[in-house]
Amino acid sequence: MKYVIDTSVGFKWAVSEIDSDKAVRLRDDFNNAIHELLAPDLFPTEIANALAAAERAGRTNRARRLCFSSTFSRTPPLSSRRSRSSREPSICAFRPNNPYTIAFTSPLAEKETCDFVTADDKLVRNLQAQFPFIKHLSSLPGPPIAPVP
């Protein structure tokens, strides 16, 4: 499968939160060539900014942030492509309460004809009816459950 992901998914690779297991599985499946992950060119910058904010808020520490950032920069866990779409990004980007990054992720998912996976509850609630290719991370299958001996 091919997916476009946003920062809310990538952030869960570094900071343990609800559905981090699903985000990590998605990344691991990418690393094992099961899935193709795409993101706009801004993704690495957004991840760095989100991790810096998490560090300031005490949700992670400097050592963990630097380790993740170093690993991420050496072996980016996704393919990054510029979004070129005939659809005007501002159609959904400049509506009240929509994050600006939707202007980049939505056209990329449309262009690549794949699902856009996010962990942003508000984005899914506000836009999924109009853009059915937007999927919440929680809707993806989780890690396999180990059989009970």
Residue 80 lies in a domain: yes
pLDDT at 142 (0 to 100): 64
DSSP state of 144: P
pLDDT at 78 (0 to 100): 65
pLDDT band at 2, cuts 50/70/90? very high
pLDDT at 126 (0 to 100): 86
Burial 15-35 (b: 16+ CB within 10 A, else e): beeebbebbbbbbebbeeeeb
Q: Dump pLDDT digits (tens) for 100-146.
A: 667 777 778 888 889 999 999 998 998 888 889 999 999 997 655 44
CATH number for the domain harbouring residue 64: 3.40.50.1010
Structural contact between residues 101 and 127, judged by C-beta atoms closer than 8 angstroms: no
Q: What's the domain count of the chain?
A: 1
| Integer angstrom CA distances of residue 11 from 15, 23, 32 | 6, 9, 20
Residue 41, pLDDT > 50, answer yes
Residue 133 lies in a domain: yes
- Candidates 106, 102, 117, 115; CA nearest to 19 is 117
What's the rounded Cα separation, in Å, for the pair 114 and 44? 21
Q: Dump pLDDT digits (tens) for 42-71.
A: 888 888 899 999 999 999 988 888 888 777
Residue 149 lies in a domain: no
What's the rounded Cα separation, in Å, for the pair 140 and 65? 26
Beta bridge partners of 79: 38
Mean pLDDT lowest for which of 8-22, 63-77, 86-100? 86-100
The parent domain of residue 96 ranges over 2-139
Token pair for residue 149? Answer: 């001996």
Residue 81, pLDDT > 50, answer yes
